[in-house]
């Protein structure tokens, strides 16, 4: 069975298409089809933003391939490149349409730029602000790691070049839970108190330089939890439904005037492309409530 055939066997046409595109584009990025030299551009909200030719080229190709199959699709995508004479997002979406795809073809641009392994291509699929599928492809991890899933169909893993899917889920909590932090948690001082009060068994064991890959590894049972400060939508859309379908918990929150405000689910504003809004703790349902209680009481 070929890899694309196994996608068709396990997933709906929409999510299978996302999986094919993620693997195709992620593989081209890894092969060096586009330059990895870092560039900067002006941004009305962030001042400057970093990107590579691979970010732009990969996104353009992914949008074109998906649009060829679903001409009514809309796209929530990271990169803009008007200064390069290109419009990579001609069909803008906000996850409220009849079919929306969230694209981040290089989540973890810094490790990618430095030829490290921990980056991925991430695509989320949904409609009417309801997520129903997602795909994460990490070409440099374990011989090519693909994790894809869909509501009501399960979460599947392909690795080491295998073309046969393995059904995965969140199992028992480890005696020493493997908890990681999003990189942005370490960049400011708002989370210092939270980190200092964590009990020994909940101390983080690493940094997820790609938040999307971290969510996929939670869904596959490789990590027990990930803690992320507010992120852009394409940082979490690809992994959101994977965690839920694998039996995990996804506790969302906003930070309002230095306080943590819990959310049952993402809000319409969390899909905006001009600010990092949605924070979350995702992981085993036995761990997330305790972690979130400590976070809520100790951020500021």
Residue 185 sits in a domain whose CATH number is 3.40.190.80
Q: What is the pLDDT of residues 16-32, one digit of tens each?
A: 999 999 999 999 999 99
154 and 190, same domain (yes or no): no
Name the domain boundary from 142, 168, 194.
168
Question: Any idea what the CATH number is for the domain that residue 119 is in?
Answer: 3.30.540.10
27 and 141, same domain (yes or no): yes
Instruction: Give the 3-state secondary structure of the chain.
Output: CCHHHHHHHHCCHHHHHHHHHHHHHHHHHHHCCCCCCCEEEEECCCEEEEECHHHHHHHHHHHHHHHHHCCCCEEEECCCCHHHCCCCCCCECCCCCCCEEEEEEEECHHHHHCCCCCCEEEEEEEECCEEEEEEEEECCCCCCEEEEEECCCEEEEECCCCCCCEEECCCCCCCCCCEEEEHHHHCCCCCHHHHHHCCHHHCCCEEECCHHHHHHHHHCCCCCEEEEEEECHHHCHHHHHHHHHCCCEEEEEEEECCEEEEECCCCHHHHCCCCCCEEEEEECCCCHHHHHHHHHHCCC
* Segments forming the whole domain that contains residue 59: 3-168
Query: Is residue 166 over pLDDT 90?
Result: yes
Specify whether the CB–CB gap between 244 and 218 falls below 8 A.
no
Q: Which residue has better confidence, 42 or 118?
A: 118
Mean pLDDT rounded to a whole number for the chain:
90
35 and 145, same domain (yes or no): yes
The first and second tokens of residue 202, run together, are: 């909940």
56 and 141, same domain (yes or no): yes
186 and 155, same domain (yes or no): no
Specify whether the CB–CB gap between 125 and 221 falls below 8 A.
no
CA distance 264 to 259: 16
Query: Is residue 90 over pLDDT 60?
Result: no
24 and 163, same domain (yes or no): yes
Residue 49: its pLDDT value, please? 66
Paired with 226 in beta bridges are 180, 282
Name the domain boundary from 148, 168, 188.
168
137 and 276, same domain (yes or no): no
Total domains present in the chain:
2
pTM: 0.93
- Using only C-alpha atoms, what is the Rg of the chain? 18
Residue 31: its pLDDT value, please? 94
Q: Is residue 173 in a domain?
A: no
Q: Is residue 11 in a domain?
A: yes
How does residue 85 score in pLDDT terms, banded at 50, 70 and 90?
A: very low
Paired with 50 in beta bridges are 40
Query: Buried (b) or exposed (e) across 14-40, using 16+ Cβ within 10 A?
Result: bbbbbbbbbbbbbebbbeeebebeeee
Residue 187: its pLDDT value, please? 81
Q: Is residue 174 in a domain?
A: no
Name the domain boundary from 133, 149, 168.
168
Dihedral sign for Cα atoms in the order 201, 205, 211, 215 = negative
Mean pLDDT of 76-100: 70
How does residue 83 score in pLDDT terms, banded at 50, 70 and 90?
A: very low
Q: Is residue 272 in a domain?
A: yes
49 and 109, same domain (yes or no): yes
CB atoms within 10 A of CB 204: 18
Q: What is the pLDDT of residues 181-239, one digit of tens each?
A: 998 898 878 899 999 999 999 999 999 989 999 999 999 999 999 999 999 999 999 99
16 and 139, same domain (yes or no): yes
117 and 142, same domain (yes or no): yes
CB atoms within 10 A of CB 299: 18
How does residue 129 score in pLDDT terms, banded at 50, 70 and 90?
A: confident
Q: Is residue 120 in a domain?
A: yes
147 and 194, same domain (yes or no): no
Q: Is residue 238 in a domain?
A: yes
Q: Which residue has better confidence, 195 or 129?
A: 195
Specify whether the CB–CB gap between 95 and 186 falls below 8 A.
no
Query: Is residue 146 over pLDDT 90?
Result: yes
Q: Is residue 78 in a domain?
A: yes
CA distance 188 to 107: 20
CA distance 182 to 221: 18
158 and 205, same domain (yes or no): no
């Amino acid at each position: 069975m070929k890899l694309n055939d196994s996608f068709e066997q396990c997933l709906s046409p929409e999510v299978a298409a996302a999986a094919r595109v993620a693997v195709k584009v992620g593989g081209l990025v890894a092969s060096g089809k586009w330059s990895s030299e870092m560039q900067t551009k002006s941004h009305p909200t962030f001042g400057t933003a970093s990107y590579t030719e691979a970010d732009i080229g990969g996104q353009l190709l992914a949008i074109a391939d998906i649009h060829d199959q679903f001409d009514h699709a809309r796209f929530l995508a990271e990169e803009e490149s008007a200064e390069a004479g290109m419009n990579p997002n001609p069909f803008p979406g906000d996850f409220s349409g009849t079919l929306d795809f969230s694209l981040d073809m290089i989540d973890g641009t810094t490790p990618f730029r430095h030829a490290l392994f921990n980056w991925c291509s991430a695509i989320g699929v949904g409609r009417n602000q309801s997520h129903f599928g997602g795909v994460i492809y990490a070409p440099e991890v374990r011989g090519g790691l693909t994790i894809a899933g869909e509501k009501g169909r399960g979460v599947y893993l392909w690795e080491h070049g295998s073309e046969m899917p393995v059904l995965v889920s969140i199992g028992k909590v480890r005696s020493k839970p493997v908890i990681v932090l999003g990189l942005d948690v370490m960049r400011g001082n708002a989370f210092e108190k939270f980190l200092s009060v964590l009990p020994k068994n909940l101390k983080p064991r690493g940094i997820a330089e790609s938040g999307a890959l971290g969510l996929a590894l939670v869904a596959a049972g490789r990590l027990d939890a990930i803690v992320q400060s507010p992120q852009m939508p394409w940082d979490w859309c690809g992994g959101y439904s994977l965690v839920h379908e694998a039996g995990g918990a996804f506790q969302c929150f906003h930070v309002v005037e230095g306080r943590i405000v819990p959310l049952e689910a993402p809000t319409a504003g969390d899909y905006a492309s001009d600010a990092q809004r949605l924070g979350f703790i995702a992981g085993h349902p036995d761990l997330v409530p305790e972690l979130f209680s400590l976070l809520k009481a100790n951020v500021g």
